[in-house]
């Protein structure tokens, strides 16, 4: 299951803060800030999807992520590679290397990373 664009934006704020109350999340948004009801709706949907939960502290709820950022990103990338690159990481890497504006240093860094992974296999 994945998040909508709005849910993903909120999830990034929650990953940054690790635990947050509603007011903390709203304060972290750039202007114009969304309404509290909008954030409450997003949090409820994200909780229903199993991405966040909360602890009740009096009348306030402290929200926290149930899914790690790295895990979510990994699943999203795997899905993108499967859907757009015929499940070929090599096709994705080729596209990425050609279509992004990577500097020579960044490409060399990628080469070192790939060489290190080859050694480990």
Among the candidates 65, 84, 102, a domain finishes at 65
The 10s digit of each residue's pLDDT in 80-104 is 999 999 999 889 988 888 888 888 9
Asked if 56 and 29 sit in the same domain, the reply is yes
Output the domain CATH number for residue 45. 1.10.10.10
Judge whether residue 114 has pLDDT over 80.
yes
Asked if 58 and 73 sit in the same domain, the reply is no
Answer yes or no: pTM beyond 0.95.
Answer: no
How many structural domains is the chain composed of? 2
Query: Can you give the pLDDT at residue 6?
Result: 96
HEC string of 5-58? HHHHHHHHHHHHHCCEEHHHHHHHCCCCCCCHHHHHHHHHHHHHCCCEEEEEEC
CA 35 – CA 20 distance, rounded (Å): 16
Asked if 74 and 58 sit in the same domain, the reply is no
Asked if 73 and 60 sit in the same domain, the reply is no
Asked if 93 and 107 sit in the same domain, the reply is yes
First-to-last C-alpha distance (Å) of the chain: 31
21: phi then psi, degrees, rounded to nearest 5:
-90, 165
Full residue range of the structural domain in which residue 48 is found: 5-65
Res. 22 pLDDT band, cuts 50 70 90: very high
Asked if 16 and 48 sit in the same domain, the reply is yes
Dmax (CA) for the chain in angstroms is 55
Among the candidates 65, 85, 100, a domain finishes at 65
The 10s digit of each residue's pLDDT in 42-80 is 999 999 999 999 999 999 999 999 999 999 999 989 999
Asked if 90 and 109 sit in the same domain, the reply is yes
Asked if 76 and 114 sit in the same domain, the reply is yes
């Amino acid at each position: 299951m994945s998040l909508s664009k709005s849910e993903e934006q909120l999830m990034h704020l929650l990953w940054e803060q690790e635990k947050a109350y509603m007011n903390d999340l709203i304060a972290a948004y750039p202007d114009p800030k969304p309404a509290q009801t909008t954030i409450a709706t997003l949090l409820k949907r994200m909780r229903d999807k199993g991405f966040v939960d909360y602890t009740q502290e009096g009348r306030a709820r402290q929200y926290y992520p149930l899914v790690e950022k790295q895990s979510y990103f990994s699943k999203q990338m795997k899905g993108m590679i499967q859907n757009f690159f015929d499940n070929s990481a090599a096709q994705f890497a080729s596209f990425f290397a050609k279509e992004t504006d990577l500097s020579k240093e960044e490409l060399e860094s990628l080469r070192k990373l790939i060489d290190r992974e080859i050694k480990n296999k």
